[in-house]
Chain A
Amino acid sequence: MDFLYNLLIDPLVQIFTYPIFALEVLIGGLLSGVMYSLVALGFVLIFKASGVFNFAQGAMVLFAALFFAGFIDTGLPWYIALLLTIGVMVLLAMTIERVVLRPLVNQPHIILFMATIGITYFLDGFGQTIWGSSVRVLDLGIPNNPMEFGGVLINQFDMVAAVVAGTLVAALAVFFQKTRVGRALRAVADDHQAALSVGIPLKTIWAIVWTVAGLVGLVAGIMWGAKLGVQFSLAMVALKALPVLILGGFTSIPGAIIGGLIIGAGEKLAEVFWAPAIGGGIEDWFAYMLALAFLLFRPQGLFGEKIIERV
């Protein structure tokens, strides 16, 4: 009874007694949600373009962060480090396309999916073999303390991160809608022949999307890295993008964005108001459960289109 009260009633009471606080939590959640959106976007890009469900997205975040932080620690100026890391990510994308995707083309998707799990392991192992597994602090000189906006406290860092991520998301959206390559990518998603007719070879397209996904990962890596420190757990955090995808639908960019925000906000609110009732640490799974529950009602996700099966 008590438990039920704590679970069902008390949180609402809390929320209504401290609306400002709730609002702050909400905004905080939304801001961190933007990061999820960003990573989720990486998934969507690759899935749309190559039908590959890239489980390695999380690993790519960690990988990028590791290299960037690593280069910084070697004393390089940040812009050089950034350039180098970008180079690494591009190289990585091409290697993956050449070594993994090309040999596996036309294999069932599930196989490709498992291959990306392989990539995940490889990247985790490789990155840490080179840079070690010690936690690296990454200081971008952005103050990590709250400031007040009209009575609401908001963490500056989150603000900046959100802005950066937001811009990137916007940029990508534009890239997809407007540019020729972007349209080509969308074409590939529909069918590969169409893509070829657009005149861009499939492997190039794949190399491109993986590069883009890599860069997205880089940004996410830097941001998270700066906030939480660059370490293995980043990969896990990045996995949060998976439930986001389920929520938003694998093929929908807006879905990825909205989904990210929902998950981010939901997670924070749950953590702050509900977790005490059931013993904390729920952000490990809350996102997944939320998505799972959601799935039962709308299997194709928020924005995914309904599939008509034919025989």
Chain B
Amino acid sequence: MAGPLTTTRDMDTLPKLLKHHAQVRPNHPAMREKDYGIWQTWSWSQVHDEIMAFAAGLSALGFERGDTLAIVGDNRPQLYWAMAAAQTLGGTPIPVYQDSVAKEMAFVLQHAEVKFAVVENQEQVDKLSEIMPDCPALKTLIYKDPRGLRDYTMDFLHSYEKVQDTGRAFMKEKPGFLDAEIAKGKGSDLGVMLYTSGTTGQPKGVMLSFDNILITARNNAVMEGLGPDEDVLAYLPMAWVGDNIFSMGQAYVCGFTVNCAESSETVLTDMRELGPTYFFAPPRIYENILTTVMIRMEDAASWKRKMFSYFMDVAKRVGTRILDGKPVSGMDRLKYAIGNMMVYAPLKNVLGFSRIRLAYTAGEAIGPEIFSFYRSLGMNIKQIYGSTEASVFICVQPNGEVYADTVGKPAPDVEIRLADNGEVQFKSPGVFQAYFKEPQKTADEKTADGWVHTGDAGIFDDNGHLKIIDRAKDVGHLNNGAMFPPKYVENKLKFFPYVKEAVAFGDKRDAVTVFINIDIEAVGNWAERKGLAYSGFQDLAARPEVYDLLLDCVNTVNDDLAVHPMLSSCQIHRFLILHKELDADDGELTRTRKVRRRFIAERYADQIEALYDGRDSVYVSTEVTFEDGRKGTVSADLRIRDAKVHKVDEPLRKAS
């Protein structure tokens, strides 16, 4: 269907789209930021002026076509404008994860030969001026928030306002200069460069052209019928491709409003105030929200809890069907309507989901009951499958065809093929140009005829939906030759609220074993209800009661696995519960909280051995990094438990 879009494909760069909106909807809000207690609003024409002023200022400071501009900071309008400004001048913005440690950041800035950096505040200024010596190209630093920078006299330092002022003056001198620059822009130009903190090795600079971003964004917008009246909350890292599609690409294609939270602590309250209509969050966030909902309900009066659970059951039964427009009995519709008044609507309101028309999740597999929880509330949450290399969209679940265990059908203009080893490969308008200065790596990932290796192993189910089971390279084989997708096993475990993280082992081994990371909030709450006193994470994790609790989870997973012909040998034989949370600061997770398998395999080698050599407990001592950056070590004796494993035999397989 044709969405209510006013833009056309021949507006092939962001600046061109910007011009369009500034003319077509000058007073329509383009950006909001909760600041000084209210939602400060900039209309498209205002945003246009801000960006032009800054662009002109940049050019006055010597920013030229082909230059690169690093963006470091939280989601702030000024930073988004800086990106557009760079693009206006034919340069390339490079948003960087601002919480990445100095050396990671240094690498990116060097590698991308960044000349200019626009940062949020003093903290970032300090960090960058510290690494500047290693980045010969970096000559200019522009900061948004002057607080605390009064005494900074370095001449490479400029304030955002000052740059814009120079810009305004500059525009008076050279009217039409910027328009010329914008006209020079082409869809094939490099739109943005995103460094992906891969699970291994150094980050790679993914080069995305305007076409990549805008065509993909447009295709999806059309498919979902997005228009200029959407409200999105920009709260995920600017360096992440999703934010570039949702808060830049699609915002510019559709002309809708991007909203920035007041501060990281207030995201939830701001979310509640704003009530976005179009929302993306990784599964973990939906999961946390659900957990807190359940925990908060625990403290409600019993009649309220009864009512809640009653209507939640109604929703479970019919909510999803109603959402998918499937037939439902009048009685159930009535019940659902009442439930909507008593529970669903208020609940969504308190969570800030009232206005959501479209919600996406991706990145990890989402727990079926989490997924169906939100859908049963009448919230149209869908899974997508994507990657930075694809400008996000590879697969999307079409309305009415939403299943918890698939990632949907190929997105518009996307072709997909499965390699022999089960790897998913795709070809689409969004396919990235190359990895910056990494022809070899580019060649590894992208065939000459444009097919991209996702590195994910997947299968198509009967109704043509793609199902991802694991990273292709992680798919191993047990000694009995059976295929072993660790992630698949891990996710089955992680669907339990008590399990925060899980790491499965089994490649080239006789059986599957796992490390489990308990979810301190959920388990802690369970412990409280059980009246179980504990002194902290480590203590709680070591409790036999907790082991019993987790054993049940493991056994259920085994029941489930046993019925899958392909996966029945992947049942978990033994497991242990880790004494600490797997942590990105300790290098155990990526910044996007994906498990760094190899790193863990090395770090916990002895513990893994223990899982196989029959020991029933093992000593561990690991170095940890605290919030304040100090290092320390924690050590403990970890108990190991055996799980109940089903004999894999005919009748059970029939049962499936």
Q: Do chains A and B touch in the complex (CB under 8 A)?
A: no
